[in-house]
Structure 1
C-alpha cells in the first residue's frame, strides 16, 4: 500500500486515537491496530489481523470515525451524548471482510454560536473532553471554537484604553455570549470576574490543543467590525448604529473606511493568535438577524474583513452563516473563490443553496463560493422529539446531484442546542459516508440494533412509528424545532406554541407517539441495563406525556368556551397531574434535571457571590431569557424552555396553577378571564437559589410504567 504510515498498538496508548479508545474503555486500544494512510480523499477502512481489529484512515478523525463505525455495526455499541463510555467484549467480533468508506466531502462542521449558550456555557474540561471524542468519532473536522473569546476582547479593549468597568459593560455574561459575538447585544448578564476569564482561557487552550491532536481544525472567531456602542465617543471612531435586537442595543459597527479598522482588527488577531494560535478558518457574521446596514458600504466591509483575516493567516478562509438575508451578496462579492465557506444553516427546511422549492432560495446559490449542507433542527435547546428524517437524506442527495453540488464541501450540524434527538445527528454525520444504495429503512434498523446492543422487534416497531410521525415533519415545513410542549407555554385558553417564532403546526397523530412509547416499554425486560434504552425510554415517554397534556388542554379550552366550570375543573386537575407525572419521570435521568444545568453553572464560581451570579445566568436564560423588555416586548420569554425535572414542578406547574385557579373563579362567577403579568410571576424564580439535585433518582423503567399508566388513565 503506497505511502503507508502506520503504528501498531503498544502496551500503553501513545497516539491520540489510542488514547481516545482508552477513554471509551480503559485498555481497549490493545484490541485494535490503527494505521494512518495517506490518501487524496478522506476514508476509513476496517480489516482483521489475527484477533485484533484493524482500523485504517488518513487522519485521526477518520480513524475515530472508523472506530465508531466498527463499534456500531460489529460490536453493537453506540456511543452517544448520554453514554460516552462502554465495556468492550474481551474478544472483539471479527471483521470478516475488509470494509471501506470514502468521501470527497472534506469539511464536516459542528456547532452554532447559540450552542455555546444554550448547551455549553458552563461545561468543564471533563465534559468538553467527551464532546471532542464524540466529534472525532462522528467524523467532525471543522467545529466552531468560541470558548475564551471574551478574554480576547477584554485584552483588546484594555489595550485601546478602556477601563475594566467599561470592558465589563461590553462583554456579556456566560449565558449570553453567543448573541454578543453575533453583534446582537452587549453587556447583558455580566460583569464577568477575573476568575471567569482565567477559567475560560485555560479551557480554550485545552480545547484547541485537543482538537489539533485529533486533526480537527478549529473555527476561531475572526474580526467582523464589532466595537462597543460607545466607541465613537470613547475612541473617536467612525461607526454606524446597527439598531436593536429584540429590545437589546447592538454593538456599533466600525466603518471599513475608518483608518483604524485595520489597526483594531490587527490588535484583535494578535491577541487571538497569542492565546489560541492560528487556524485556517475564521467565523465572522456581521449584521446577524436584521442588523441595520444603512450607511455601510457592504462591498468595502467585506474587503476589509477579508483583508484583516488574510493578514493574520494568508491561507485562511472566512466561514459565514447563511441565515435570513445573511450573508449579503454585496458583502461577499469581492471575496475570492476558495476564501469563503458558507454554512447553509437551515438547509433541511429553508435551504439557500439554490433549491427553488425553498422560501429562502438564492437562485444563484452562493455565487460560486464553497458551502456546507447543514441541519439546524433544534432551537433554544428545547427538549422534544423532532426531525425530517427522510427529507434530510433526500435533500442532501438532491443538493449533491444539482449544479450547486460542485461547490458543496460537506455537511454540518448547526443546532442551537445539542444533547437531544441523537438519531437525527447520527444520520446527518453518516451522510458523507453512505452509499447511494443505502435506504433509510436499512439505516434506521442498523441504528436501533446498535443503540440497544441487540435487535428487539418491539423497539424496531417503536422507531418505525416515530420515524413516520414526529420524525416526519413535512418537507415544506419551516417549523423552528420541536412540536413544543404545552406545559412550557405561558398559560391561556388558546395557548398553542411556546416560543414567539416557533411557527409550529400539527403534522402527526399524537396517538402514534403514545403507542411508540408503549412499544418501547414492552421491550423493557429484554433491554434493561442498556443506558441508551433507558435514556430513549424516558425521552419518548416524556414526549408521550406532553402529547397527552396537549389533548387535555384542548378539553380545558372547550370547557372555557362552553362556560362549563365543572368540566374545566376536572380537565384542569388532569392537566396539572400530568405536569407532575412528567416531573417525576424525568427525575430518573440527569440529562432531564434542571439541577444538572444549575449545578454546572455554580461549579464555575469560586465565591458564593460568583456562584449565585452564574446560577442567575442559568435560570434566566431558560425562563424569561432576559429582562422585562426582552421577555415581553422582544418576545424572548420561554424561547429556551426545557421540559426538565424541577423546572416543571416549580416553574411551569405553578404558572399553570395560577391561571387555572383564576380561570375557575372567573367561570364560577361570570367574570372576565384573569389578566396576569407573567413576567412578574416568572422573574422571582430566576433570583431564587433553592438547591436542585442532579443525580438520578429511582428506576427509569418503573417511572416510565407509572407515566404510561397515567397517560392511559387520563382517557
Structure 2
C-alpha cells in the first residue's frame, strides 16, 4: 500500500512539474528570463477561471488549469503591461519591473470549450508549417484560452498504414492521399490524390511533427481533436476490396472517396484498424472529428441513422469516454445522422454562426427549427474563406449575436463555448481577439470601449488618431450587415479575372457593397499621420500596411469604374491614362506589401520548399503551394468546378507576376474575352523562380511614399 501511495504521489508530482514547466516554457519563449517575475498558482474550481493578483514585486497568475493560467497571463500582458502577442509577433520585451496589479481581478467562464481550426486552415495556412511555427501557434492558443483544437497533421501517415494493411500498394495509396496543400479536402471526403504523389519522407516528417504537436498540447492540458473514422474508403474500394460502398458523387469535378456503408460486415473491422493505427502513432484522444457527406455529398440510399450510430459505436469502442465533434456546413450534419445519438456524446461546431447560424436563430437562411436537439454546440466565427487577404468582420454583430445565443431560451442552454473556424488564419487579428475574449466576459459589453482598450494593448500607448481610425474601420469595413452571407473579405479587384464589369474574385463570394471606400482611405490616412510615433512597433507596422493595402485596393476598384465610364464615353485619351494608372496601382501595391513578410508570396513558397529534402521534393511542394493560390485544381476543377482563385492572395510577388500580367494582357489585347487565363496561371505554377524573403527596414517611409503617390493631390 505504501509503495502504491508513494508511486501515485511521485506520478502526480511529475505531472504537476511537467505542466508547470509548460507555463514556464511559455513565459521564457515570450521573453527569456521573465518567468521569475511571475508567481504561478493552480487552485481547483468547478469552472474555468483566472485571477490576477500581486505579491510583493511579483505578479500572481492564478487559475484552475494551465490553459486558464495562460489566458490570465495574456490578459495581464494586454491590459496591464500594454503588450499584445499576435501570430506574427509572439515575443516581447517585458518591463524590468512589471506594472502591479493594484486590485485582484478574477474572470471565470461557464463556456467549457474554446475550439480552434477548420479543416481548411490546415491547408490554406498550415500546409507547410514546421515545429518552430507550430510551437508559436500552440503558445498562441494557450494564451487565448483555446482548449480544444482540431489536430489533423499526420493523419496521412495513419491512412498510409491502414491501406497498406488492407493490401493496397504504395502507388495505390498515393493515388488516394492528397498532396500537402490539399489534404483538408481529402480528409473532408471531397477528393482523392490531387497534389500527390507524396514521397516517403513526407509521411515520416508529418508523423514526427504531429507527435510534437500532440505532446505540447497535452503538456498544456489542451485536448486535441483527432480525425476519427467516418466511413471513408478509396473510390475503388468496391472493386479493390469487395466492399459495399456508396459513391457520394463529384466535388468540383473531383471524384469523392467512397462511403463504406455501416451495414457492410467489414465496417467494424476497418474502423477498428483505423483507430488501432491512430492510437499507435498519437495515442487515444477524448475527442474525434468526423464530418461525413461534407458539402453536398450524395446520401441517397444511405441509412443516415444507422451511419451515425455506427460511426459513434466505433469511436466509443476505441474510447468509451470520447466525444464526437462535428461541424455544421450547408446540410451537414443531416438531422437523421445525429438525432438519435446519446446526449453528451456529440459536440457540434456551428461553423458560420456570425452569418448563417444553424443553432435555431429564426432569422438565419440556414436555420434549423429545432436547433441541434439535445446536443451541445459552440458559437463559431468563420470570417475568412480561402485564406484571402483583406479587412473584414461583423464586430458589433459578433458581440450581440453571441450574447443573444447565450441567453436564448432552450437553444442557449446547450451553448457551451466558442470556436475559431476560419479557413485561413493570420489575418484580421482584431476579430479573433474579440471572439476569444467573449467567454471571459459574462455580460455584453460596449464595442467602442473594447476597441479603445484593444488598440492601447496592441500598440502600447494611447493615441487619439489611432482610436479615431479604428472607430471608422469598426463602423465601416468591420461592420458588415447582419444579414450578409458574404464569404469573407471584400475581395481586391486587382486579383480578379480581368473584365470591365468584374466585381468579385472567387466564384462563391456573395460580395455586396456595404461600406464607403472613402472611410477606409480616411482611416488609412489617420494611421499614417501618426506613423512616426510608432516606427519599429511590429503590431502597428503590420496593421498600417494592411490598412493602406485595403485603401489602395479600394482605389483600384474606383479607378476600374472610371476606366469603364471613359470607354463607354469614347474618351480614348482618358481611357489610356486610366488603364496605365490601374496597372501602376497594382505595382505600387506589390511594392507596399514587400515591406512585410506576411504579405509576400516568397514566404509561402519558402515554407513549402523547406519541407523537401531533395530538389524533386522541393519542386513538388512549391508546385502545391503555387497551384493552391491560383488555379487550385486541374483545368476542369478550376474552370468548371469554380475553384480558380478561391484561395487568391493579394501578396507581393503575385501582384507583379500573376495579377499584373493578367490585366496588362487584357488591356493590351483590347479586352479580348477569349484570353486563356488558366493557361497563364498554370504556367506560373510550374515555375520555380525565387522570390525575395527580405523586407524593408524602412516600412513607414515606404508606406508614406506609396500613399502619397496613390492619394496625394
TM-score, normalised relative to structure 2: 0.97
Between 567-576 and 689-698, the greater mean CA deviation after superposition: 689-698
2:515 aligned with 1:508: yes
**1:40-87 per-position Cα deviation (integer Å, ceiling 9, x unaligned):** 000000000000000001111000000000000000000001110000
Alpha carbons 1:13, 1:19 under 8 Å: kept = no
Alpha carbons 1:488, 1:642 under 8 Å: kept = yes
Task: Tell me the CA shift for residue 440 of structure 1.
Answer: 1.1
2:700 aligned with 1:701: yes
The match for 2:636 is 629
The match for 2:493 is 486
Question: Gapped runs of 5+ residues in structure 1?
Answer: 1-5, 667-672
Alpha carbons 1:13, 1:22 under 8 Å: kept = no
**1:359-395 per-position Cα deviation (integer Å, ceiling 9, x unaligned):** 0010110012100000000000000000000000000
CA distance in 1, matches of 2:513, 2:18: 55
Task: Tell me the CA shift for residue 523 of structure 1.
Answer: 1.5
CA distance in 1, matches of 2:28, 2:259: 48
The match for 2:598 is 591
CA distance in 1, matches of 2:98, 2:706: 39
Which residue of 558, 561, 579 corresponds with 2:586? 579
- What SS does structure 1 have at the residue aligned with 2:669? helix
- What SS does structure 2 have at the residue aligned with 1:477? coil
2:378 aligned with 1:379: no
The match for 1:152 is 158
Alpha carbons 1:25, 1:88 under 8 Å: kept = yes
CA distance in 2, matches of 1:564, 1:499: 31
The match for 1:420 is 427
CA distance in 1, matches of 2:193, 2:455: 45
The match for 2:685 is 686
2:118 aligned with 1:112: yes
User: Structure 1 pair 558/216, CA: closer, same or farther in 2 (3 Å)?
Assistant: same
CA distance in 2, matches of 1:395, 1:382: 25
CA distance in 1, matches of 2:530, 2:49: 37
CA distance in 1, matches of 2:609, 2:444: 50
CA distance in 2, matches of 1:253, 1:563: 58
CA distance in 2, matches of 1:64, 1:438: 23
CA distance in 1, matches of 2:448, 2:655: 36
CA distance in 2, matches of 1:31, 1:215: 23
Task: Tell me the CA shift for residue 566 of structure 1.
Answer: 2.2
**1:662-699 per-position Cα deviation (integer Å, ceiling 9, x unaligned):** 12xx6xxxxxx442111111110000000012221342
The match for 2:445 is 438
CA distance in 2, matches of 1:590, 1:173: 25
Which residue of 143, 156, 178 corresponds with 1:137? 143
Task: Tell me the CA shift for residue 525 of structure 1.
Answer: 2.1
The match for 2:648 is 641
The match for 2:55 is 49
2:614 aligned with 1:615: no
- What SS does structure 2 have at the residue aligned with 1:122? coil
Alpha carbons 1:545, 1:707 under 8 Å: kept = no
CA distance in 2, matches of 1:362, 1:533: 42
Which residue of 303, 307, 320 corresponds with 2:309? 303
Matches within 5 A, 1:487-566: 487-566=494-573
2:69 aligned with 1:63: yes
Alpha carbons 1:341, 1:369 under 8 Å: kept = yes
2:463 aligned with 1:459: no
The match for 2:7 is none
**1:179-207 per-position Cα deviation (integer Å, ceiling 9, x unaligned):** 00000000000011111011000000000
The match for 2:198 is 192
CA distance in 2, matches of 1:29, 1:466: 37
CA distance in 1, matches of 2:709, 2:490: 21
- What SS does structure 2 have at the residue aligned with 1:94? coil
2:363 aligned with 1:357: yes
CA distance in 1, matches of 2:476, 2:276: 51
CA distance in 2, matches of 1:563, 1:636: 36
Alpha carbons 2:261, 2:302 under 8 Å: kept = yes
Question: Gapped runs of 5+ residues in structure 2?
Answer: 1-11
- What SS does structure 2 have at the residue aligned with 1:15? helix
The match for 1:712 is 711
**1:420-448 per-position Cα deviation (integer Å, ceiling 9, x unaligned):** 00000000000001141531111111000
2:51 aligned with 1:28: no
Q: What is the aligned-residue RMSD (CA, Å)? A: 1.5
CA distance in 1, matches of 2:217, 2:17: 25
User: Structure 1 pair 206/619, CA: closer, same or farther in 2 (3 Å)?
Assistant: same
The match for 1:125 is 131
The match for 1:268 is 274
2:398 aligned with 1:392: yes
Matches within 5 A, 1:287-326: 287-326=293-332
CA distance in 1, matches of 2:17, 2:290: 45
Alpha carbons 1:585, 1:704 under 8 Å: kept = yes
**1:23-46 per-position Cα deviation (integer Å, ceiling 9, x unaligned):** 000011000000011000000000
CA distance in 2, matches of 1:397, 1:146: 31
Alpha carbons 2:248, 2:256 under 8 Å: kept = yes
2:185 aligned with 1:179: yes
Task: Tell me the CA shift for residue 13 of structure 1.
Answer: 11
CA distance in 2, matches of 1:141, 1:155: 29
CA distance in 1, matches of 2:621, 2:49: 43
- What SS does structure 1 have at the residue aligned with 2:482? coil
CA distance in 1, matches of 2:568, 2:293: 45
The match for 2:3 is none
The match for 2:235 is 229
Which residue of 96, 102, 112 corresponds with 1:96? 102
Task: Tell me the CA shift for residue 254 of structure 1.
Answer: 0.3
The match for 1:16 is 22
- What SS does structure 1 have at the residue aligned with 2:688? coil
CA distance in 1, matches of 2:501, 2:18: 63
Alpha carbons 1:456, 1:526 under 8 Å: kept = no
